[in-house]
Structure 1
Amino acid sequence: MKIASVQDLEKIRDKYNPSLYQPKGLKVNVGMASCGIAAGAMDAFEKATEAFKDDPSVTICQTGCIGFCEMEPLVEIMAEGKPRVMYKNITADKILEAIDDYRGGAAKKKWILGQMRDPRSLMDDDLPNPVDKVEHFEGIPFLEDVPFYKGQVKIALRNCGYIDPDAIDAYIARKGYFALVEAIQGRKPKEIIEAVKQSGLRGRGGGGFPAGIKWATCAKHHGDRYIICNADEGDPGAYMDRSILEGDPHSVLEGMLIAAYAIGSSQGYIYVRNEYPLAVKRLITAIKQAEDYGLLGDNIADSDFSFHIKISTGAGAFVCGESTALMASLEGNVGRPRAKYVHTVEKGFRNSPTNLNNVETYANVPAILLKGADWYAGMGTEHSKGTKVFSLVGKVVNTGLVEVPMGISLNDIVFNIGGGVPKKKAFKAVQTGGPSGGCIPERFMKLPVDYQKLAEVGSIMGSGGMIVMDQDTCMVDVARYFLDFLKEESCGQCNPCREGIKQMLDILTDICQGNGKQGDIELLEELGAMVQKFSLCGLGTSAPNPVLTTILYFRDEYEKHIQDKKCPAGVCKALFHYEIDAEACTGCQVCFRKCPQDAVSGEKKKPHTIDQSKCIKCGICYEGCKFDAIKIR
């Protein structure tokens, strides 16, 4: 079938909608993104599929990541006339029992995350709520009221976890490709660019440049124009783009198609890192399906507009996330950035006008066209509109993927959505913006999250990585870790970045090993300013951020490392040792049994001691002590 009009899309939508919201029989959706598979979702999926292979009344489906990675594998179960229920931690040994539990009225509440009040997406508000007349289960919270989801607004993630990413009909059922066909058949390219401008959408890859202005500038230049999607997500702890590609690849394709129509492009590329095999697999499937429906390729939707997309897999070089380095790699050259005075919208890929946005940026575009620029601009702050997806990781109770309106406070994300720091430990800092971001201390936790406010405290929005740190984090070691990462990932073509980062890393390493000396802090600040000012690309200019912000906000830790030769957090092994507090020790012998070096000795119910000559400072005893008897000295 070739789709030629909105009416064709509506027919598919009407046909597929019942199976999506209120299916005949029983339907089980298993979260099968990388996070779910790593937690055991594949085994659960295969076990359920095998158990019900001869039962047509039960359908076992895959879906993407619904965000709450801490609770994976997540399994949603639904049936006609009954509420939809989300079960947590459903591994292979639990899935059949969970299905029986749902059939029996959802009695195992300890396995249940919540039930759905309204499964529609923001795009579906023209349809009646399919669960309006469904009687819900007593005593089970609604998913929207669970703290992790409360306060989230899903636009880029609107379909992730709700549809089968390998089923284009499921995407269309959630009003997918409507924006594209309506644009091709009823809107001029300039109108689309103006809508994106008015929405205030800024690039979500880290730079934050207004997308509409970039589109308009690219459209002005003559030549073969190219559309590129940057899916080279390399920040440690970041997986926003991967989750969108794995859970809703068609939203990215549709966003690229709309951009192509708006600027007059016929060729696009998705540059995705090779470490994302599942994302690549689902993109390949999505491209084939869109081509089969006539939504990608020649004469799209029976029009004069043609657009083709190719996938290119990168080798995992962090610097290739930078636009010009990415384009060089895409051309088959070494991925090295070039000077910014030549803009890629004028001379980019193959020296032609090129529009590059990241995955999340493109995923927002169809929603903006369908709901209107004013709707999108109505969320967020004055200079940062809409929502932002963050990967919340580190020392936080609820790790996962969250999408929140711009302007929400760091405190709301970390403590309300994230649930705070586990094990009753004290919060220390949160790092935003990946390895090139800054570490923000507790006193700024009420700070609104937007591009300007984060920059004011020395950090950046970046692509959306957010790493929480607790009292056991050494801020000097954190700065050393990120500098080590950036040194390895630097392309090495400019002296300030290549030599400056190495020199800063050498100083930090000395400090962590107990060889720091007076003047090191001031030298780090001087070197950091030089690297920021003179480096060629964004990797170098932002590389000193973790060092400079940790010095700014945690200078006392640097001084203790240098002057007292102590690491207060007990991370830098040369600068601390463990001791057992005789008054607090109960002689439970947990540390005695767990120590891999037999360094702990003592009789049962009597204070123990640690033989410092045997201790390797692995921390197993410290983590295992329930009485806070083991101290860092």
Structure 2
Amino acid sequence: MTLAAEINSSSPEKLLSPVLSAFWDQPDSWTLETYERHEGYQGLRRALAMSPDDLIAYVKDSGLRGRGGAGFPTGMKWQFIPQGDGKPHYLVVNADESEPGTCKDIPLLFANPHSLIEGMIIACYAIRSEHAFIYLRGEVVPVLRRLHEAVREAYAAGYLGRNILGSGLNLELTVHAGAGAYICGEETALLDSLEGRRGQPRLRPPFPAVAGLYACPTVVNNVESIASVPAILNRGKEWFTSMGSEKSPGFTLYSLSGHVVSPGQYEAPLGITLRQLLDMSGGMRPGHRLKFWTPGGSSTPMFTDEHLDVPLDYEGVGAAGSMLGTKALQCFDETTCVVRAVTRWTEFYAHESCGKCTPCREGTYWLVQLLRDIEAGRGEMADLDKLNDIADNINGKSFCALGDGAASPIFSSLKYFREEYEQHITGKGCPFDPAKSTAWADNHKEVTA
């Protein structure tokens, strides 16, 4: 039976597949004792019984794809590391979660940090690395403290340090707190920051697999990608591929937020639909309907209520004209002004641009100026074509994906809601402004009553 058929024939709750989130609600879920009670570090033991090359092939065969946005096959990324080169190899985990709307890695680290640590040990054994780093967003101090404690527990139990479980594997793990720059979520900017330099994207090639951290071969993976590896080793690649779709197998965390009754993390097989997730979460807030949503955070092209049944896997979302990204499903109802939402997102990208490349540095600045004028009722019809033109000059022409992410909301909002932009211009202001719209006031009164 296909996943689509299962979705139509199953109750919503049966579609969930809690693995990483299986015991988040238990007392002391973040401790080593709780983790070991739920088969923790069993995947590591199975991995150490394999050769590093066989382990890479096993992860590759499982079809695990990176959960950080692009969906690149994890095993293939490990395979790119050259062997026998005489250089140190490094694993760097990107925990600098900063994408507007994305909130999966931080809750995962807060509730279950040992899943990441076990996955890192397995990955380091595979790529023959003896030093790994976690680059964490520095503002989340409670998570930083829990992560430090989990690392301490792992050292004390013999899972980190020298001769891990008698295998001959030596591994040191360093937790590094970033300073709050969105650009450091880009892997090469993260590496520069980790080395003590200003976080700015590097020109590629060379790619990190050849010359990454300290000019040595480096694998950079997302938190959820690495944390998913222990379960694959423990339960088998056949179990993993039994979930999801053919090209996007396995389970993943969907972050549902916005105007929904029960926002939160929903761990389900890839290929589930937003309609099913909304059924589980109680739907949109009472008396309101879905207007637009993002499948992978604000840097992915937005969808409308016409896309409720798009399979939320990499191929399904891509075919519909967007990207799965980090699976940050932000849902907005009809009381939301699209122009205002896009303006706020664009202000964020303009503020977080590192300034290294001209298209992004200058383009995001001018996008903000135009959007602010349109939102305030000072825009002209010609500004809509200017928006599209500037976004086109940024998209695909900047050093990193920040520029592409800034252009995505512009393109998609103009595609689906051009009429709303025009209303701001012809009406000399936002139609959702309480002073200008009795409909908005009635909706607001209904929500707050």
Common fold by TM > 0.5: yes
Residue 161 (structure 1) aligned to one of 25, 31, 38: 25
| Counterpart for residue 233 of structure 2 | 369
**Aligned-pair CA distance for 1:626:** 8.3
Equivalent position amino acid for 2:421 in 1: Y
| Counterpart for residue 436 of structure 2 | 577
| Counterpart for residue 505 of structure 1 | 368
| Counterpart for residue 266 of structure 1 | 130
Preserved contact between residue 237 and residue 467 of structure 1 (Cα < 8 Å)? yes
Preserved contact between residue 150 and residue 417 of structure 1 (Cα < 8 Å)? no
Distance 1:310-1:514 versus aligned 2 partners, 3 A rule: same
What secondary structure is seen at the aligned counterpart in 2 of 1:544? helix
**Aligned-pair CA distance for 1:356:** 1.0
| Counterpart for residue 6 of structure 2 | none
Preserved contact between residue 228 and residue 270 of structure 1 (Cα < 8 Å)? yes
Aligned partners of 1:395 and 1:534: how far apart in 2?
34
Equivalent position amino acid for 1:427 in 2: L
Aligned partners of 1:372 and 1:579: how far apart in 2?
58
Aligned partners of 1:160 and 1:345: how far apart in 2?
34
Residue 177 (structure 2) aligned to one of 313, 316, 319: 313
Residue 273 (structure 2) aligned to one of 409, 414, 430: 409
What secondary structure is seen at the aligned counterpart in 2 of 1:164? coil
What secondary structure is seen at the aligned counterpart in 1 of 2:184? helix
1:301 corresponds to 2:165:
yes
Q: For each residue in 1:28-63, what CA deviation from the matched residue of structure 2 results, as whole angstroms up to 9, or x when unmatched?
A: xxxxxxxxxxxxxxxxxxxxxxxxxxxxxxxxxxxx
Residue 333 (structure 2) aligned to one of 449, 467, 470: 470
| Counterpart for residue 323 of structure 1 | 187
1:623 corresponds to 2:444:
yes
1:557 corresponds to 2:420:
yes
Preserved contact between residue 342 and residue 409 of structure 2 (Cα < 8 Å)? yes
What secondary structure is seen at the aligned counterpart in 2 of 1:179? helix
Aligned partners of 2:44 and 2:396: how far apart in 1?
42
How large is the Cα RMSD of the aligned pairs? Answer: 2.1
Residue 215 (structure 1) aligned to one of 78, 94, 100: 78
Aligned partners of 2:209 and 2:24: how far apart in 1?
31
Distance 1:204-1:297 versus aligned 2 partners, 3 A rule: same
| Counterpart for residue 240 of structure 1 | 104
What secondary structure is seen at the aligned counterpart in 1 of 2:396? helix
What secondary structure is seen at the aligned counterpart in 2 of 1:542? helix
Distance 1:579-1:434 versus aligned 2 partners, 3 A rule: closer
Residue 205 (structure 1) aligned to one of 36, 46, 68: 68
| Counterpart for residue 51 of structure 2 | 188
Give the length in aligned residue pairs. Answer: 439
**Aligned-pair CA distance for 1:285:** 1.1
**Aligned-pair CA distance for 1:625:** 5.5
Q: For each residue in 1:436-477, what CA deviation from the matched residue of structure 2 results, as whole angstroms up to 9, or x when unmatched?
A: 122101111111111122233332222221110000011111
Q: Larger relative CO (CA 8 A, sep 6+): 1 or 2?
A: 2
Q: For each residue in 1:386-440, what CA deviation from the matched residue of structure 2 results, as whole angstroms up to 9, or x when unmatched?
A: 1221211110111111111111112112x21222211311210111222312210
Aligned partners of 2:30 and 2:154: how far apart in 1?
11
Equivalent position amino acid for 1:482 in 2: W
Point out the structure with max Rg over C-alpha.
1
What secondary structure is seen at the aligned counterpart in 1 of 2:374? helix
| Counterpart for residue 354 of structure 1 | 218
**Aligned-pair CA distance for 1:166:** 4.4
| Counterpart for residue 350 of structure 2 | 487
Preserved contact between residue 198 and residue 377 of structure 1 (Cα < 8 Å)? no
Aligned partners of 2:71 and 2:125: how far apart in 1?
22
Aligned partners of 1:217 and 1:385: how far apart in 2?
22
| Counterpart for residue 205 of structure 2 | 341
Q: Percent identity at matched positions?
A: 36
1:230 corresponds to 2:91:
no
Gaps of 5+ in 1: 1-144, 581-616, 629-633
Preserved contact between residue 310 and residue 320 of structure 2 (Cα < 8 Å)? no
Equivalent position amino acid for 1:296 in 2: L
Aligned partners of 2:197 and 2:41: how far apart in 1?
35
**Aligned-pair CA distance for 1:326:** 0.5
Aligned partners of 1:436 and 1:167: how far apart in 2?
34
1:518 corresponds to 2:339:
no
Aligned partners of 2:400 and 2:63: how far apart in 1?
25
1:450 corresponds to 2:309:
no
Aligned partners of 1:165 and 1:358: how far apart in 2?
21
Aligned partners of 1:627 and 1:153: how far apart in 2?
35
| Counterpart for residue 7 of structure 2 | none
Q: Provide the TM-score with structure 2 as the length reference.
A: 0.93
Preserved contact between residue 376 and residue 429 of structure 2 (Cα < 8 Å)? no
Distance 1:518-1:623 versus aligned 2 partners, 3 A rule: closer
Preserved contact between residue 458 and residue 545 of structure 1 (Cα < 8 Å)? no
Gaps of 5+ in 2: 1-9
Preserved contact between residue 69 and residue 324 of structure 2 (Cα < 8 Å)? yes
What secondary structure is seen at the aligned counterpart in 1 of 2:93? strand
Aligned partners of 2:199 and 2:133: how far apart in 1?
16
What secondary structure is seen at the aligned counterpart in 1 of 2:197? coil
Distance 1:551-1:298 versus aligned 2 partners, 3 A rule: same
| Counterpart for residue 113 of structure 1 | none
| Counterpart for residue 392 of structure 2 | 529
